[in-house]
Amino acid sequence: MFNKSQLIGNLGKDPDIRYTPEGKCVASISVATSESYKDKAGQRKQHTEWHRVVMFDGLAELAKAHLKSGTQVFIEGKLRTRKWKDKQDLTHYVTEIVALDLKMLGKSPLPTSSKPTSTTSSNWNEPPYPDYGDFDDEPEF
């Protein structure tokens, strides 16, 4: 079996930063990818898809420190679907990318000497993400 996702896109807003009860950093971002095509009438159309990405530990700290709305990123990770219940006890499902690698692309307001451009959270042979329990929150897009 093979579970790998790669995206190049722009952040739709600043990262949402949370901490587990154990103090581990968790960052959630929304990444927009776009494609252009011509419809049957020859008109150029553009379609934007939004992707929910979650990062843990070092990648989450990197996101907290360096990512802002509009930042262009390359994300590599694995798809994960999780289940959660809202306040009305309704069950919801969300599919997200658990980031294992992050590269910041494009121009940055940071000086290049202090700008980390890549980090990898784990090896592809390791589990896809740490077990920080369930987050019973509604996903934000």
Residue range 82-112, pLDDT digits in tens: 998 999 999 999 999 999 999 999 775 444 4
Cα–Cα distance, 138 to 141 (Å, whole number): 10
Domain covering 5-120, topology: OB fold (Dihydrolipoamide Acetyltransferase, E2P) (2.40.50)
Torsion of Cα atoms, 51 then 6 then 22 then 83, to 10°: 50
List the domain boundaries for the chain: 5-120
Smallest Cα–Cα separation from 61: which of 15, 115, 96, 107?
15
Residue range 130-139, pLDDT digits in tens: 444 555 455 5
Does the structure show a pLDDT above 50 at 119?
no
Torsion of Cα atoms, 79 then 5 then 55 then 115, to 10°: 180
Residue range 53-81, pLDDT digits in tens: 999 999 999 999 999 999 999 999 999 99
Cα–Cα distance, 106 to 109 (Å, whole number): 10
Confidence category of residue 140, pLDDT binned at 50, 70, 90: low
Reduced to 3 states (helix: H, G, I; strand: E, B; else coil), residue 137 is coil
Name the one residue in this structure whose structure tokens are 């069950």. Answer: 91
pLDDT cut 70: percent of the chain above it: 75
Global confidence as pTM: 0.72
The residue-averaged pLDDT of 7-20 equals: 95
The residue-averaged pLDDT of 18-42 equals: 94
